[in-house]
Amino acid sequence: MNHGGARVVLLGVRHHGPGSARAVSAALSAFEPDRILIEGPADADPLIPLAGAEGMEPPVALLAYREQDPKVSAFWPFAGFSPEWIALRYAIERGIGVGFCDLPAAASLSQDTKAQARDRDRDRTGDGPDPIARLAEAAGYADAETWWEDVVEHRGGRSGPREGARQADGGDSLAAFDAIAEAMAAVREHEPTPERDALREAHMRSVLRAALAEGARRVAVVCGAYHVPALSGICDGREAQPPAQAADKALLAALPKQTKATATKLTWVPWTHSRLSYHSGYGAGIGSPGWYRHLFETDDHVTERWLASVARLLRDERHPVSSAHLIEATRLARALAALRGRPLPGLAELTEATVAVLCEGREEPLALIGRELVVGEDLGTVPGGVPTVPLAADLAREAKRLRVPRTATRKQYDLDLRNATDLERSKLFHRLGLLGVDWAVAVGSRSAGTFRESWDVTWEPLFEVRLVEAAVWGTTVQSAATAKALETAEQTETLGSLTVLVQRCLTADLPGAVDPLIAQVQNRAALDTDIADLATALPPLAGILRYGDVRGTRADGLRTVVHGIAVRIAIGLPPACVNVDDDAAHALAPSLAKVHAAIQTLDEPAIRDPWMRALRQVADLGGAGAHGLLAGRAARLLSDAGVLGAEAVAALMARALSRGGEPAGAAGWLEGLLAGSGLVLAHDKALLRLIDDWLAGLDADRFEHVVPLLRRTFATFTAPERRTIGERVAHLGAPDGASALAERSAPPTGVAADWFAAALPTVRLLLTGSPSHPGSPSHPGSPSHPGGAVSAEVAPTRKLEPAP
């Protein structure tokens, strides 16, 4: 396009397309522009020189956010194979004037939120105008992505050693962009332009006019192919002037004016390939960043090199892959491409060949291949001079000091808290968790009473935004976490949540937050009358008292708080268990077990004795006002603690299961006693007989009502526990001692009986060390032996003979 003697070329691209990137590189070399304009936020121009700084490695992104509300933010990502990045580096390396031409980030963030959401949904789902889909449909393709790959990304034919994104040089490259512009114009001719795109294109035209007015003679514009017709003025198949400058000014004048509340900052941040993919939610994402990088970086034998990478990955995971596999997979991929009329094998053909040949029909390895190769986990880097908030700079210093690099690949840290460096790492991870930056996620058991922690550490670009958001709390990770914890405490409604926050602050070593939080806990506990709330609050505080010295943390004044809460729970527990419904009982029962475990852990008579008395009162109230579930749970806790013996538990059960009581209440009592473990029934025949007799005495209606409740309880038992209980029930009618003996010593019958009898003396010799003689009390044939009636008298030296 000529403009008053100046020449403008419009390079319409597919964002993050490797073929487009190669074409842009060739076109710029052929055109030799003196000014380059790139689709991107115009107010990011001061950050462009950093794109060529040492230490800047894509993928990276421009981050824009509001100073007073960092949650309002946006990203503009760039990969190494993005056409826009290629143009940026081309201009920087040659000292050519370059700038962004899209709407400023401040204007984009100030646009109507609903309009932005509508446009984003259109970009992601394709519900709005999709020119690529129209062109693909006209060409007979089922999906737009495949058509674009065949026509643009794989352009260059099948000849020569290179497969993939080979582009012609010189005028051929410019001609290709002219063809793209013409095709887009034809598609947009009958499509309305969305409001947001109209504003963006008006701004692009304004920036282009300004560049020409400043004296640029050869201008190259790198933008999405969709926008080319609006910049070139091609409409209705003929050359036309773009909209008048006055019209564009009027359109842009409607944009909201920037105020202090909407002031925007921009910076560069690291990005990842996974965040370029569609599943990350990025509107202009691509499905296979790793594959596109392969297309861009590989100069020859694209198919062979890709399959070789797949084979290397599979071999590392101990999947056998041979050279013959690679040869056959290559042939299959090419054959599939030929059958489908594609110029070269694409990712679909390579994937099918991988499954059929390298994976021998198994699709399970595809998840690994997709994560490691098709998408990839590359994380870019930015140089130290990039503008950032003080909090992010402090985190970078701490991460470097503690040797915790920011990588997109998951790494597990097994920390030994007795080691000074590991202890500092643990504090950093806990502080970041309080700030909502989940760079490190705890895995496995992380009991406060051990010296070890395990963390999965993976950096996500989204954490850059969260650091900006958290910067309002302080300039360092420690000060920000302290301020955030105190603010969270003010908004915490329950005592239990507040005590959990105290525990987190102690593990994060935030002394500035711990003392004020303990004071709040004490004040709230003094006024709280809800036993369930107090019961939720006690276990974390008890854990702090018991294990706080592992980290060397101090919790002065906490012991007084714990004692006060424990005593109040003991006093209020019996009334709290009376006249409550099923929902309230099921909500309170787990708390009883947790409080009991916490008090047992502390092992202090001053709080243990009142608690045991309270449990005994609840257990004694079973059938006399207390909910059966809670009374049964209290009996079980007392039994586990050794306070109640088997006879006392049997007496309580007999009273709870009496025929005069309500069957539902009795079933609840059993659930409280037995839930989680059936060992008490597996080893106590008296209790088992009580339950059996109770069930046998129920009438039909009551039995049908109770059985589902019992099934719910027995479902919590392990399979061996259920099997053992079933065996015990089968012999409940036998005389005492006979059932167990029958289970242990009854010989088999039938063809194996003689074999059993012949082997028995030898087995007894091995187990006891001495043979038993006929007539001795221990001999199975002795009249005094309980099993004498069912045992055969055999000599120790009897010869084994085959059974008849």
Give pLDDT tens digits for 303-339.
Answer: 999 999 999 999 998 899 999 999 999 999 999 999 9
Cα gap 628→611, rounded to integer Å: 19
Average pLDDT (176-180) is: 85
Give the C-alpha separation, 18 to 160, whole Å: 19
Structural element, H or E, at residue 123: helix 113-125
> Beta-carbon neighbour count of residue 35 at 10 Å?
22
Q: How confident is the model at residue 124 (pLDDT cuts 50, 70, 90)?
A: very low
Pairing of strands 411-416, 218-224: unpaired
Provide mean pLDDT across the span 119-146.
64
Q: What CA–CA distance (Å, rounded) separates 523 from 520?
A: 5
The closest alpha carbon to 152, from 176, 129, 175, 174, belongs to 176
Helix, strand or coil, per DSSP, at residue 745? helix
pLDDT category at 426 given cuts 50, 70, 90 is: very high
Strand segments (E) across 189-231: 218-224
Give the pLDDT confidence of 500-536 residue by residue, as tens digits.
898 888 889 888 888 888 888 878 777 777 788 888 8
pLDDT mean over 734-738: 52
Residue 414's pLDDT is what?
A: 92
pLDDT score recorded for residue 112? 47
Average pLDDT over residues 130-148: 78
pLDDT at 234 over 50: no
Q: How far does Cα 546 stand from its chain's mean position?
A: 31
Q: Given pLDDT bands bounded at 50, 70 and 90, which one contains residue 435?
A: very high
Q: Are 170 and 30 in contact (CB under 8 A)?
A: yes
Which residues lie closer than 8 Å to 164 by C-beta, 6 or more apart? 18, 153, 154, 156, 295, 298, 302, 344
- Candidates 24, 82, 127; CA nearest to 293 is 82
Q: Among the residues of 234-322, which ranges form H helices?
A: 245-252, 289-297, 302-316
Closest CA to 653 of 641, 665, 643: 665
pLDDT at 117: 43
Q: Are 731 and 771 in contact (CB under 8 A)?
A: no
Q: How many residues does the chain have?
A: 804
Rounded Cα gap, residues 510 and 324, in angstroms = 61
Cis peptide bond N-terminal to 129, omega within 30: no
Q: Is the pLDDT confidence value at 174 over 90?
A: no
- pLDDT at residue 242 in the model: 58
Q: What single-letter amino acid sits at 351? A: T
Among the residue ranges 92-106, 373-387, 736-750, 789-803, the one predicted with the least confidence is 789-803
Q: Is 602 exposed, middle or buried (0-12, 13-18, 19+ CB in 10 A)?
A: buried
Lowest mean pLDDT across 69-83, 626-640, 694-708: 694-708
DSSP string, 539-569: HHHHHHHHHGGGTT---TTHHHHHHHHHHHH
What angle, rounded to 10 degrees, do the helices at 477-491 and 420-434 form? 40
CB contact at 8 A, 41 and 104: yes
The pLDDT score that the predictor gives to residue 355 is 94
- Rounded Cα–Cα distance for residues 246 and 251 (Å): 9
- C-beta separation of 568 from 525 below 8 A: yes
Higher pLDDT, 683 or 638: 638
264 contacts 109 by C-beta, under 8 angstroms: yes
Q: Which of 34-43, 252-261, 752-761 is predicted least confidently?
A: 752-761
- Higher pLDDT among residues 414 and 563, named by residue: 414
Q: What's residue 752's pLDDT?
A: 61
Q: What is the pLDDT of residue 749?
A: 55
Q: What is the pLDDT of residue 531?
A: 82
Q: Kind of pairing, strands 2-3 and 73-78?
A: unpaired
pLDDT at 221: 94
At 474, is the pLDDT very low, low, confident or very high (cuts 50, 70, 90)?
confident
Asked whether 331 and 337 are in contact (CB, 8 A), the reply is no
Token look-up 């737009």 returns: 144
- As a whole number, the mean pLDDT across the chain is 78
- Measured between alpha carbons, how far is 343 from 733 in angstroms, rounded to an integer? 82
- pLDDT for position 441: 92
* Confidence tier at 672 by pLDDT (50, 70, 90): confident
Q: Quick one: pLDDT at residue 121?
A: 41
Min mean pLDDT across 246-260, 546-560, 732-746 is at: 732-746
Q: How confident is the model at residue 446 (pLDDT cuts 50, 70, 90)?
A: very low
